[in-house]
Structure 1
Amino acid sequence: MYESARLSAADYHELTDTRVHEPQRMREALSARRRRSLVGPDGQLLIIAADHTSRGRLGVGDDPSAAESRQDLLGRLVDGLADPRVDGVLASADVLEELALLGALDGRLAIGTMNRGGIAGSQWELDDRMTAYDAEHVISTGLDGGKMLVRIEPTDPGVARTLEMAAAATSALSDAGIMTVIEPLPYLKSAAGQAVLDPSEDALTRAVAIASGLGASSAHTWLKIPATADPARVAAATTCPILLLGGDAGHEWEGVFGRWEQALGIPNVRGLMPGRALLYPAVLSVPAAMDRAATLVHGALTEGDKS
């Protein structure tokens, strides 16, 4: 179990008691949190992605159950959010409400994950329906944005349904002036029929072009993509702002940070949206991983930040 510097066992038990005795406080805390503008003067963002568990992805590295403890996950998130350069969190409603009740989202962005129906490893994985937030509740809950995963594979009919759904949600959020984050990833089918990531840069560039055209307006669309060997080529397929994901970095974390640093020099690459690479680092501590990522995005902590 991760030993959090800021989330005690008593805090966690109080959280579970609140769910029983005062459940209305969960949503109230999220709606009433202290708000901020989407971006600051540098136009950059560092968002922690914590939505993996809501589609059944609990493994990190060689440990298939690394993320199964909610107390452990919340402790890592609370410690990560203690860095003032971390701009916010991407998660499902349960995690966002818990963090809000703990006071960890005051002055931070809350991005709601939307389509989590494509359970990891399932036969219907690419038919990725909205089982978390929908556009209506992103708006009514006062979230700062909504995020969708769009996996593009040429043989699965579920992909067309996912694209149609993502386009409608993008239109609705844009009409409300709210950020939409689209994560376009190219996929293939294995011989056993399982969805597997296509590592081709050609395919990712094509997916970025498709995602940029979703919805009736792209005015509030951001993209979340991996940092590839030639990030400038992929980024050139769109003018939408890009946030880089990190994946399960494991012991290759130095390579991940190196690719981030290279890609962050591209004009429309505007920050990072990693999850496991920062929450479950193989070598660094959580605060150290957050510090290194935040320094890439926003620069080193100043004395004013520390106070």
Structure 2
Amino acid sequence: MRAYRLHAASWSRIVTHRVRRPEAIADRLLSRRRPDQSVPNDGQMVLLTCNHQVDPRTGAPVDRRELLDRIIEALSIPEVDGVVASADLLEELTLLNMLEHRFAFCSASGDPHVGAISGLGGSCGGVASSTIAASRFDGALLSQRWDARGPPQASQPWCVAADVAELAAHALPTILDLCITDPDGRPEFDTTWTDWIEPLHATTSALATGVGVWITVPAISGLAHLA
């Protein structure tokens, strides 16, 4: 049985705040001490991505308390600069005082096949940039999914560009996570750098200049060709 770092009293406090004192969560978000700089002094940023909904070991839905506990354990490493997670998870980590002077990037995407915030006629389940700003999070993660053999129009890069511009209007930087769906069923890490040329070109061409955007791609073979 796992020995939890997240004690029963702390877990109970999260549940109590959710049910009986939701306003206290908003107050705690406002008082969170954010990092002094947008990028660490060494120019490198290590962020934990904590958007797992399924336990890869069992295929079952993740246990919320265990997920929080493992994040707390990882944040004990000084080199970890922050967390990328859903808004509710960031709220709970803030209540536990785990995000003091650390970066909190909110997962803004709803349906990654369309724009996360603006979308096509709606938010598509995404988190509004105004909500991210009001929560005093430090930025947002947007997902952009591509069909490896489909036309660029099917992946709506202009829709994501509008989302990036909206976040920039709130002085929020964006991590843009590019993904490829391969019709042959290849894992994303088995794609080649040539598969990424068109997605990267279309996405970067659609983005406005002068806004803070970091684009992530997997560690594929020949990645230097895309630099």
For the aligned pair, the TM-score class normalised by the smaller chain equals 0.7 to 0.9
**Match for residue 175 of structure 1?**
169
Per-residue deviation, 1:158: 5.5
Per-residue deviation, 1:215: 3.0
- The residue identity in structure 1 corresponding to 2:172 is I
**Match for residue 34 of structure 2?**
35
CA deviation digits over 1:42-68, x for unaligned, max 9? 111000011232xxxx141x5212x51
Corresponding residue to 2:158 among 122, 143, 164 = 164
CA distance in 2, matches of 1:181, 1:140: 19
User: TM-score of the superposition, structure 2-length normalised?
Assistant: 0.84
User: TM-score of the superposition, structure 1-length normalised?
Assistant: 0.64
Q: Is the 8 A contact 2:164 2:207 kept in 1?
A: yes
The aligned runs of 1:1-307 (5 Å cut-off) are: 2-4=2-4, 6-36=5-35, 37-53=37-53, 58-60=54-56, 62-65=57-60, 68-118=62-112, 126-127=113-114, 129=116, 130-153=124-147, 154=150, 159-160=155-156, 163-189=157-183, 197=188, 199-234=191-226, 236=227
CA distance in 2, matches of 1:89, 1:173: 18
Give the secondary-structure state (helix, strand or coil) at the position aligned to 1:89: strand
Q: Which has the higher contact order (CA 8 A, sep 6+)?
A: 1
- The residue identity in structure 2 corresponding to 1:3 is A
Give the CA RMSD over aligned residues: 2.5
Are residues 112 and 195 of structure 1, via their aligned partners in 2, closer, same or farther at CA, if it must alter by over 3 Å?
farther
Are residues 188 and 228 of structure 1, via their aligned partners in 2, closer, same or farther at CA, if it must alter by over 3 Å?
closer
The answer to which of 81-90 and 131-140 deviates more is: 131-140
Q: Is the 8 A contact 1:47 1:89 kept in 2?
A: yes
Q: Is the 8 A contact 1:189 1:196 kept in 2?
A: no
Structure 2: 5+ residue stretches without partners: 117-123
Per-residue deviation, 1:164: 3.4
Percent identity, please.
25
- The residue identity in structure 1 corresponding to 2:19 is V
CA distance in 2, matches of 1:209, 1:42: 29
